[in-house]
Amino acid sequence: MKTSVALCTYNGEKFLQEQLDSILNQTLPVDEIVVCDDGSTDSTIEILETYRNKNPEIFRIFRNDVNLRSVKNFEKAISLCSNEIIFLSDQDDLWIENKVEKIVKTFQENPEINMVATNASVIDKNGINILESSIWEIVEENVHFFEIISLHQNFVTGATLAIRKETAMKAIPFPKIFHHDEWLALKTSKEQSLKFIKEPLIYYRIHDKQHVGGILITKKKFDFIKSKIEKYPNQLNPKQSFSLLKKWKRKIDKLTNCNETCSDVFIEYLINFLRTEQEKLRKISSEKFHFQYQFKKLFGKI
């Protein structure tokens, strides 16, 4: 299996060299690194050119004329990749040396799997481990990934994932109302072709200049999400049910009002799925008088 890396950069000079070294020093070498730079004004391009000069057979560098931002920049980088398996990469993390080898082996041994995501260790700007709860710890081996991602919490982080090119191209263009990793996770989990590896295969860096975060969560939030997943749907108390109802109503409203994506068959499926789940929880929550009033405020009817 030949591999590509879709790497997006924007003013990433501080950590970029460490990330590139970790990608190049894999036990199973990657075949191609496609970089899409989103208009960097620091030394990012100079760093990339230095690496390309040393590895001209691997690196392909593209500079955007306008700033596309994260989702559309990854869409572009993925579409420019040539090989069967595409690894997504941020500019500021570190790959564990056998990441590519383990993930490629997973694809080889599981032909029905179209996307692989992994756990990650969290580090700070100095590379020191941060021992706090993360969204990846929510996942268990025998859970329904689609239900968790669509109803509760997306645990798939773009920096950890690899995807078959054919699957990725079918998911393009990425809708603007989703981040690219959530969109790909929803698509593949619905097809039951998403696999999650519990072993951390990258060091995910938290720092004050990063563009997307939200990985670390408080112990209270972690326990709450786990509780919702484990108890869903019949064991949730009315308060928990109602909090989910509000969240799903916002999702449905956003999906319904987004003309750009409503022609997508999967979007229609997701809307109908959320509405069905919403009705289940309405019946549970409406047994309490207090929530009948809240329902009226939220939905305009009991």
The answer to which of 18-27, 157-166, 237-246, 283-292 has the lowest mean pLDDT is 283-292
| Residues 71 and 160 reside in one and the same domain | yes
**How many secondary structure helices (H) and strands (E) does the chain include?**
11, 8
Would residue 81 count as lying in a domain?
yes
State pLDDT tens for residues 236-259. Answer: 877 788 888 888 999 999 998 887
| Residues 172 and 55 reside in one and the same domain | yes
| Residues 190 and 245 reside in one and the same domain | no
| Residues 195 and 237 reside in one and the same domain | no
Cis upstream peptide for 56 (omega within 30°)? no
Domain enclosing residue 242, as ranges: 233-299
Above 80 in pLDDT, residue 8? Answer: yes
Average pLDDT over residues 80-93: 97
* Contact between residue 116 and residue 205 where contact means Cβ atoms under 8 Å apart: no
pTM: 0.90
Task: Give the closest residue to 151 by CA, choosing from 218, 244, 72.
Answer: 244
| Residues 261 and 200 reside in one and the same domain | no
| Residues 243 and 287 reside in one and the same domain | yes
Average pLDDT over residues 48-53: 98
Domain boundary pick from 205, 225, 253: 205
Average pLDDT over residues 206-229: 68
CATH number of the domain at 54, please: 3.90.550.10
Question: How many Cβ atoms are within 10 Å of 2's Cβ, its own excluded?
Answer: 12
The confidence score (pLDDT) of residue 302 equals 42
The confidence score (pLDDT) of residue 230 equals 77
Average pLDDT over residues 87-92: 97
| Residues 71 and 142 reside in one and the same domain | yes
Would residue 80 count as lying in a domain?
yes
Q: How does the average pLDDT of the chain come out, rounded?
A: 88
Would residue 216 count as lying in a domain?
no
Would residue 117 count as lying in a domain?
yes
Tokens matching residue 58: 């691997």
Q: What share of the chain is helix, strand, coil (3-state, %, to 5)?
A: 45, 15, 35
| Residues 194 and 259 reside in one and the same domain | no
| Residues 246 and 188 reside in one and the same domain | no
Would residue 217 count as lying in a domain?
no
| Residues 191 and 289 reside in one and the same domain | no
Ramachandran area for residue 39 (φ above 0: left; ψ -120 to 50: alpha; else beta): left
State pLDDT tens for residues 191-209. Answer: 999 999 989 999 999 876 6
The percentage of residues in the chain with a pLDDT greater than 70, rounded to a whole number, is 86
Would residue 210 count as lying in a domain?
no
Would residue 227 count as lying in a domain?
no
The confidence score (pLDDT) of residue 258 equals 82
Domain boundary pick from 188, 205, 222: 205
| Residues 74 and 196 reside in one and the same domain | yes
Instruction: Indicate the number of domains in the chain.
Output: 2
Work out the angle at residue 172's Cα, subtended by the Cα atoms of residues 171 and 175, and round it to the nearest 5 degrees: 95
Could you identify the residue written with the tokens 């289940």?
Answer: 280
Alpha-carbon distance of 253 to 275, in angstroms, equals 11
| Residues 73 and 195 reside in one and the same domain | yes
The confidence score (pLDDT) of residue 291 equals 63
